[in-house]
Structure 1
Amino acid sequence: MKKEDLPQDTGALEKFTREVCYVKNEDGKYETALSKGWEVKKLALDSAWEDVNARVEEARQAVIRGEKSPIYYFMELRLMDLPVLSGYTGIFSFFIKRHLKPAVFKKLSERKLEKYARAFDITVDSLKNFKG
């Protein structure tokens, strides 16, 4: 791609980062240039964020219906899965999976709730009292 053909489309990450691309200069030699973004990449990122937002909303609804504990919602909100949350809390994944059940969540100790709250960067009260 020639340097003058390098896309400079605006995107969601435009204010935070730029992408380094290899382009040909006037002499036909390769050099690096910065791109603000590509329309195709923007559409892909927008689609991915729509999926993330849908999963977060689905998790919120599951908490409202009483099917899942607030841990499930905050895990989705913070883009975590069981192994990642396990790494942050030091709690084994199979225990976290149990803690996703509302009845088990209600019986958790303050110490465990603090670990979760710290991992989600929220207060213990916010975690305990989250109703969706």
Structure 2
Amino acid sequence: MEKENVPQDISNLTKNNVKELLYATDENGEYTTTLSTGWEPKAIALSNSIDEINERIADAKSQVENGEASPILYFMELNKMDVTILSSYVGLWKWRVKRHFKPNVFAKLNDNTLKKYAAAFEISIEELKNSITK
């Protein structure tokens, strides 16, 4: 793409006055860098992704409030993690992390295990146990 044709569409990036660095060709046909405020298809995809993330967070919160899941599920979604990432942060097998999503299993977790989760989410054990149910 030629430098003068780099899209400058309004996007989520422009809200924070952020510009994206892109490669384009200059008037001599040489590759160079240029800044772009956004590109409409990318902005739509980004917006859809953010909406999906927010839906997953709301769903996880609802499951915790209804006693269907533990707060670990909510904080995992809130921190944009998946089971693989979370298990690597806490040093536990994925099947154990999934098991800890069950409220009755979560209630029996010792402080050392809770401390690992709290550290991964950058919150206190108290916040992990109580922030959703308030």
TM above 0.5, yes or no, is yes
Task: Tell me which stretches of 4 or more aligned residues in structure 1 moved more than 6 Å.
Answer: none
Query: In structure 1, what residue type is equivalent to 2:36?
Result: S
Cα RMSD for the two superposed structures: 1.7
1:19 Cα deviation after fit: 2.7
Report how many aligned residue pairs link the two structures: 131
* 2:49 counterpart residue number: 48
* Structure 2 alignment gaps of length 5 or more: none
Query: In structure 2, what residue type is equivalent to 1:6?
Result: V
| Percent of aligned positions that are identical | 44
1:36 Cα deviation after fit: 2.1
CA distance in structure 2 between the partners assigned to 1:30 and 1:82 by the alignment: 41
CA distance in structure 2 between the partners assigned to 1:98 and 1:27 by the alignment: 60
CA distance in structure 1 between the partners assigned to 2:19 and 2:73 by the alignment: 31
> Does 2:36 align with 1:38?
no
* 2:4 counterpart residue number: 4
User: Which SS does the other structure have where 1:13 is aligned?
Assistant: helix
**TM-score, length-scaled by structure 1:** 0.90
Equivalent pair of 1:8/1:35 in contact (CA under 8 Å): yes
**TM-score, length-scaled by structure 2:** 0.88
1:37 Cα deviation after fit: 1.4
Equivalent pair of 1:19/1:36 in contact (CA under 8 Å): no
CA distance in structure 2 between the partners assigned to 1:63 and 1:17 by the alignment: 38
1:31 Cα deviation after fit: 3.0
